[in-house]
Amino acid sequence: MLTIGEKQFNSRLFLGTGKYPDFDMQKAAVDTSETDVLTFSVRRMNIFEPSQPNFLEKLDVEKYSLLPNTAGAKTAEEAVRTAKLANASGLCDMIKVEVIGCDKTLLPDPVETLKATEELVKEGYTVLTYTSDDVVLAQRLEEAGAHAVMPGASPIGSGQGIINAFNLSLIIEQLTVPIIVDAGIGSPKDVVTAMELGADGILLNTAVSAAAEPVKMAEAMKLAVESGRLGYEAGRIPKKRYATASSPMEGISV
Amino acid sequence: MQLLINGNMTEIPDSIKTIADVKQHFQISNPVVIVEHNGEILEKDSHAVQEIANGDKIEFVQFVGGG
């Protein structure tokens, strides 16, 4: 069971809802993943085409905890406004703070991210903050009251996997709030690695939605989260330089 | 009457009085539509009573797929 703020989740896999080939495949992938938390974005409606299908129509939103993001925001002020817009839907009080500071890498702006987190915690939201793998910044976010800190494995949508396992492990070790590794995951291997490091959960989108078979990948990611978590809880053996026989050395019949 | 809707200056009939009327005019039926009127985010149940005036700035936003 994963607890974030006052919310509890059975699944440690959070799934994004962007870039699926179609809504039916998205629904199938979401169902297969057995996720409890869906992320999505807030955008202007095209009022001249109001009947265009909306992704929420296919999903039973009552079944999930909705985690809107503030993607598109470049300042704390914009992020806070987006959070308030999402909250006005009456469907959610969680918010993923995402304030981008660089268009090319989509890396977060640390100063604005911290400011937005402080403000939204004060406003009473359950705040999950997307951040880089900077250890001290992660600590500052926790001090600001973030209910979960979500360091990126690598740049958003890059599929590069975990490029700084050392920093991630320090963040996991030094913070007490849940750590959700968010962004850059490419394959189930990356998920298992993050979970074995002790991450409390994984947030991914493109690795599933842009896979050749999204539904199959959703299942693979679900199993990877479970496998990595079990491995972490079971406690891996220490690495040794030389071999240790698994079979008894006594009674060898030669 | 003219309204600045989602950044576009838009002509609407003068018979339109409230935010709910504007939604109806554009046939916005999506159950999850969030409205910001002159910079103020509206409670869902206030759309029917929130009156509009020429030159008002209105934002209609919705949830879309994202990560």
Residue A90 has pLDDT above 90, yes or no: no
Q: How confident is the model at residue A62 (pLDDT cuts 50, 70, 90)?
A: confident
In a domain, B67, yes or no: no
Rounded average pLDDT over A123-147: 98
- Does the distance separating the beta carbons of B32 and A48 come in below 8 Å? no
How close does chain A come to B65, measured CA to CA in Å?
Answer: 4
**CA dist., res. A219 & res. A34, Å (int):** 8
Q: How many CA atoms lie within 13 A of A114 on its CB side?
A: 13
Which CATH number belongs to the domain containing residue B46 in this structure? 3.10.20.30
- Say what the pLDDT of residue A50 is: 66
> Using a CB-CB distance cutoff of 8 angstroms, which residues of chain A are in contact with residue B59?
44
In a domain, B14, yes or no: yes
In a domain, B48, yes or no: yes
pTM of the predicted model, to two decimals?
A: 0.91
In sequence order, which residues have a C-beta less than 8 Å from that of residue B41 and are 6 or more positions away? A84, A85, A88, B34, B35
- Say what the pLDDT of residue B58 is: 95
> Using a CB-CB distance cutoff of 8 angstroms, which residues of chain B are in contact with residue A88?
34-35, 41-44
- Say what the pLDDT of residue A171 is: 98
Count up the domains in chain B and report the number: 1
Q: How confident is the model at residue A59 (pLDDT cuts 50, 70, 90)?
A: confident
- Does the distance separating the beta carbons of B7 and A204 come in below 8 Å? no
Rounded average pLDDT over A89-111: 94
Residue A51 has pLDDT above 90, yes or no: no
In a domain, B32, yes or no: yes
- Say what the pLDDT of residue A201 is: 98
- Say what the pLDDT of residue B51 is: 94
Nearest CA in chain A to B67: A16
- Say what the pLDDT of residue A52 is: 67
- Does the distance separating the beta carbons of B27 and A40 come in below 8 Å? no
Mean pLDDT of chain A: 95
Mean pLDDT of chain B: 92
**CA dist., res. A9 & res. A15, Å (int):** 13
Rounded average pLDDT over A54-76: 89
What ipTM was reported for this prediction?
Answer: 0.90
Domain range spanning residue B30? 2-62
In a domain, B27, yes or no: yes
In sequence order, which residues have a C-beta less than 8 Å from that of residue A20 and are 6 or more positions away? A26, A29, A209, A214, B65
> Using a CB-CB distance cutoff of 8 angstroms, which residues of chain B are in contact with residue A89?
32, 34, 44, 63
How close does chain B come to A50, measured CA to CA in Å?
Answer: 5
In a domain, B18, yes or no: yes
